Structure 1
Amino acid sequence: MTTRSPVKCWRACARAHRLPRPPAGGISAGPGPRVSCYALGALCFWALRPRPVAARVVRIESATWPAGQSVPSVGEPLRAGRLRIQRGFMEIAFVRGATVILEGPAEFEVRGPLHAALHLGRAVTRVPPGARGFTLDGPRGRLVDVGTEFGVSVGAAGDMEVHVLEGMVETTPRGEKESVQLRGNQAAPLTDRRLERIAADASGFVTDLPPKSEAVGYLHWAFDEGRGNVSLNLGAGLGEPHAAATLRSFSQAGEGPQWIAGQFGGALAFDGHDDFVECDFPGIPGAQPRTVAFWVKVPRTFQTNEGYAILNWGTLSSPGTAWQISINPDAASGPIGRLRVGVHPGFVIGTIDLRDDRWHHCAVVMYGGRRPDTGTHVLLYVDGELDPAARKKVSQIDTDIGGTSARRIWIGRNLAYRAKWSVVQGGPFFRGAVDEVFIVNAALNQEQIRSLLKYNRLPPAS
């Protein structure tokens, strides 16, 4: 049998398979025992054997990826290894049944059919009975599931928190031998000190991704008429025959919204004093999925009494029964001038400042699912890109369109403003311009939203 120095044999194998160099002292090169190339070939084969599929990518939503990384695709099998996402969401289904929703920026590692690690970012893990024992490692500890749903966040400095949404998780901080059980609605930061329980906060995690929308109904006001006081609905499958939009002035002396040039054809300008538009269509009710998309131009001189509201319906009579989209005017809630959706008292506020006298395309998506609320079921988009939430306050979404105090759709008027003596936070009317309003009875994905942005139409159903 031919023999060589083990180092030479390893180098030959390494050159053929691009393996790393052996560690210093890891393989004898001296006059000691010789190892046959056959033995090291077997070692090479074992090191390079195909690793079994542990999981698959099942959903990707509004994602961007680091430069140089191959872009995952839906259906792609995942073996042991790391993957990174800069922005957006990715859902991974493990072969034993566990699912993980990653929110970028995140760095995640698949380690096996029942084993993974989160090195950075946020993840929600849902584990059915057949996948009990699923283990998620992090910089500060290990989590072992016993049939549950939980969220985990890992910061850039390695700080780690677990929030148990349902069921129970066995939590073992790094360096500890004993695990601690966390049950539903309990959370804990994992530190080098003793683990301390706190209340779970589901609002920090996206627990479901928008369902795929098939055939949809929608309203569409293009505001291209250029004259008169009515804008016709150009949509289909929603709101007929009550969806014409009527231009109004709250004061008898006012002229109402003004026709101006828009992003596509005409648009409407609102003066912030008494202009608004109303429609007899009551809006989309309850927790039903919806998307509201439009172009908006907000002046640089925007004042905090001119932000409410771009569009709304529902009522403020009970928590969660309103649906109002605005330019945030309330510094106590979040940064001023950002896209905002409120359901009273809950809200989501974006991060992009819109006060620049330029047209921006905005979309607010709310999708159905378990526990629909502002913390977990609302996404904001600005100019076709996901707009991460700067601030959230959680309320369940249950929009009321049938109650005695429920309002039908208004554009440019605060839902809280009912009479001239009303004193309302954020002002009674919106100042700025609006064009191409779409209200859709489905949760649109990023591709569909970008179609509205680029072509002013929904893509054909696939």
Structure 2
Amino acid sequence: MNLKQTESSPQDLDDMIFELLDGAITPDRHQKLQGILKHNPAARQRYRDLTRLEDLLEDQMHSAAHPQMSTPQNLIPFDRLARRQRKRIAMWSAATAAAVLLICGVILTVINVSFEPSVATMRYAEHSDYRVTYPDDVDYEAGELVSGAIVELKQGSVELNINSGVVAVVEAPALFKMVDEFTLELKNGNSWFSVSPQGHGFTVKTPQMEVVDLGTEFGVVVDPTTADEQVHVLRGRVQVSSLLKMKDVQTLTAGQACKVSMDGGLETIPVAQDSFLKGLPDGLTYLEWSLDEPTNQAFAATGNMAGLEDVVSSVVRGKIDVVPGRKDRARRFHQNSGFIQTTWPGVDADRPRTISAWVKYPKKPDATPTGAIIEWGNPDLNAAKWRVTINAGGDAGKVGALRTEFSRGYVIGTTDLRDGEWHHVVSVYDGSGRGDASTIKLYVDGKQEEISAHKVNRVGTIVGRPGADPCLIGRNFRGIIDDVRVYQGAYPEEYIPHLMGE
């Protein structure tokens, strides 16, 4: 059935329903109506409302004519519907409000489509990018997950309320399948589970292990890029079984964690209490360095990203100056002097990301920009470094413009920032795995930049491994930086002006 056969205006939909109730619908119109009802939840609800109302009105009319008879209000046979005569629109309008109150809760199933009951409901954080694939190519109400539903989460996070009494929060990138209300298959992602007594025995299956709840709160990590799979018990107990050759089985209690080792066994690791989202955030997860501290001894990282409490940020290799900022304080950096080194590794692989900051470059139109506003990753491997800076013009593009580098690739804007004024700069990468002028967008003061030059390269940022720098702010930069933020996801263009915080 093509798309046109599953589309209709509200008036045409009502006309087809009335034709069906009159027994006057043609075969083609009947086929079109069936297609609409199969693929459009709102149309199914409209069909139910009108047919229920038709039944109620006819029963009331029949009761008035034959008060000695009682008509049960059960399911309405299809052939009976086909024999009914169409009521005038005025009668429908006058009776609708009272009738709807009487028919709430009555279930009518008259179309030949089978719908599985939902096993979970799903909410998502603002700006999340996800796709749900249902079994048998049947559409369900938004937010409903049925047995066999597969969820792919490219950015953001989702919260699951599972019928068995389990609450889960899954953070992108993620791929999981709702097997049933007691089983979830996790192929990728960081997930947190809180299991009520009702959900005792809830099971999370990964490619290499099986985690069975014994009354607990726990987190599961599956990273297919490194084949790393972990379970962290935050409260209660779980039973963990390796699905690989060794078939190792362990019971873990609160404060314990393990991962699947190279030989297929279960290896003890430190528990990461704060590495999982335990509630649905308002939007994309992020870290922010306001740089408002009065001294340079340490800088606080704020935001809503899991594990931010463990992020330490401090000045290394010299000093930086405390200066007036965009709103409070900021930091002036100098070439070959101090910069801020954090313990946060950065956004890895080809995950989408948004970097936002305020910068003020000295009014020196002839000065050659140096250093980076923010950077992380491995500079010695192709595609493994991520860097946002001001273009020095050594290879291409407008000198003094905003520039995003990904090792041997780059995208450069057009606005010269060397004017001694504050500018809000944003770099957004969409997570496609390829860096070019279509996948990386640059913004200055809330407006998208024209691209003066770019060089295509893949994106595969390496973090947390030997040779990779953690997130660094202002290394060798010449100028003032304030309010740096990194979001784990690509913000849409219409939201960019909000990042300015005006």
TM-score range, shorter chain: 0.3 to 0.5
Query: Which structure has the bigger radius of gyration?
Result: 2
TM-score by length of 1: 0.46
TM-score by length of 2: 0.42
- The structure whose residues are more often helix, as a share, is 2
